[in-house]
Amino acid sequence: MKSIAFVDTEVEPKSRKILDIGSVKNNGNSFHSNSIADFIKFLNGTEFICGHNILNHDLLYIDKALSDAEIHSDKIIDTLFLSPLLFPTKPYHSLLKDDKLQTEDANNPLNDSIKAKDLFFDEVSVFNQTEEKLKQIFYLLLNKTKEFHSFFSFVGYKSSETDIKKIIKEKFQSLICEHADLPEIISEYPIELSYCLAIINCNNRYSITPSWVLKNYPKVERIMFLLRNNPCLPGCVYCNQALDIYKGLKNYFGFDKYRSYAGEPLQENAVQAAVNNKSILAVFPTGGGKSITFQVPALMSGENVKGLTVVISPLQSLMKDQVDNLERIGITDAVTINGLLDPIERAKSIQRIQDGFASILYPELSDSHPAGHLSR
């Protein structure tokens, strides 16, 4: 096996002074000290360096030490970027909480480096068990990026395939829009596309992209929208199935058709406009079925792109009624946050949103505003 050392540091932020370094090699040898000279000696003969968030954190402080130890910059592996790719299913890998490793002992770099070692070899194991087409997709999209190149080098994976668009269409047939502009997305946003495809491939309704990914790669949301929430005019297998408002109505509420008023298909028009991502103003009489017009698109969006729809209502009782009515028919994707909730209930609602278990949010505001739609 190739030689690899796992590293973590504790640093004083203002002075940028290294307070502590922890490292463990794949042969079991370990290091725990703040001596840079001893750290360089420890790394002697090591080919790869690995850490959790090492590219954006530890490397800022130990890059010269790695250079003195003759470790090349293209041999640095970061488990942070690999985790959403290889562990996309909720619940997330037990070691992770956003971009932090969870350890029992706070501020212990040696323990953190051991955790990084365990996580890395879990990632290697999952990658080796991944279906070949998905391996090829990840390799062709990511091999030339600094975040992933070293990983493919360590595991020794290569692909002779070159037509990445063809492989994606074969692998994700009926799971993404056939007419999405894949060549441009592949060229401009390979990492974002990879994270989107990993989430889609896991086929878990409540898996969402970690917040740190959305912060560092904000185009992920846009790519997911283009792949899964932008109905194509010609129609395709995916759009005709996942973005069909009649199938959505039937799936979620059991109705075969929308209501009409004075011969006008008001509900149908409003839902179709929402699914088509148009800005709309819909006025309905009291009891006229307004809820369906935002609930169907919201639930479809929650399933297709992990979207969260925010519904603004002036009445707390109305919010509760809406949530209760959905729960009575088996839909648990709606939550409310208002002054009637005790602190524990409020915390649970917020946690459900953060964990991806909500598609509709009814928040309490002082004034009434139109319903809005956004993604987590």
Could you tell me which of 107, 105, 54 has the C-alpha nearest to residue 81? 54
| DSSP one-letter code for 352 | H
Q: What is the fold, at CATH topology level, of the domain defined by 4-129?
A: Nucleotidyltransferase; domain 5 (3.30.420)
Q: For residue 367, what pLDDT is reported?
A: 45
Q: What is the pLDDT of residue 314?
A: 74
Closest residue by Cα to residue 227 from 182, 277, 278, 163: 182
Low-confidence residues in the chain, pLDDT < 50: 94-95, 367-376
Residue 80's CB: how many other CB atoms inside 10 A? Answer: 25
Q: 224-244: per-residue pLDDT in tens?
A: 999 999 999 999 999 999 999
Q: Is 294 helix (H, G, I), strand (E, B) or coil?
A: helix
Cα–Cα distance measured from residue 209 to residue 273, given in angstroms and rounded to the nearest whole number:
27
Is residue 337 helix, strand or coil?
strand
Q: Name, in order, each residue with C-beta under 8 angstroms of 255's C-beta and a sequence gap of 6 or more.
A: 249
pLDDT tens digits, residue range 249-306?
A: 999 999 999 998 888 899 999 999 999 999 999 888 877 788 999 999 999 999 999 9
Domain extents for the chain? 4-129, 164-231, 244-375
Residue 145, token pair as written in the block: 């990026």
* CATH T-level assignment (fold) for domain 244-375: Rossmann fold (3.40.50)
* β-pair type (334-337, 307-310): unpaired
Nearest 5°: phi and psi at 264?
A: -100, 130
Residue 122: how many CA atoms within 13 Å on its side-chain side? 18
Given this model, what pLDDT does residue 372 score? 43
Reported pTM: 0.90
pLDDT for 97: 52
For the record, the structure tokens of 373 come out as 């739609």
Distance CA 335, CA 273 (A): 24
Residue type present at position 72: H
Q: In what order do the strands lie in the sheet with 307-310?
A: 334-337, 360-363, 307-310, 372-375
Copy the structure tokens of residue 194: 């990879």
Is 4-129's fold the same as 244-375's?
no
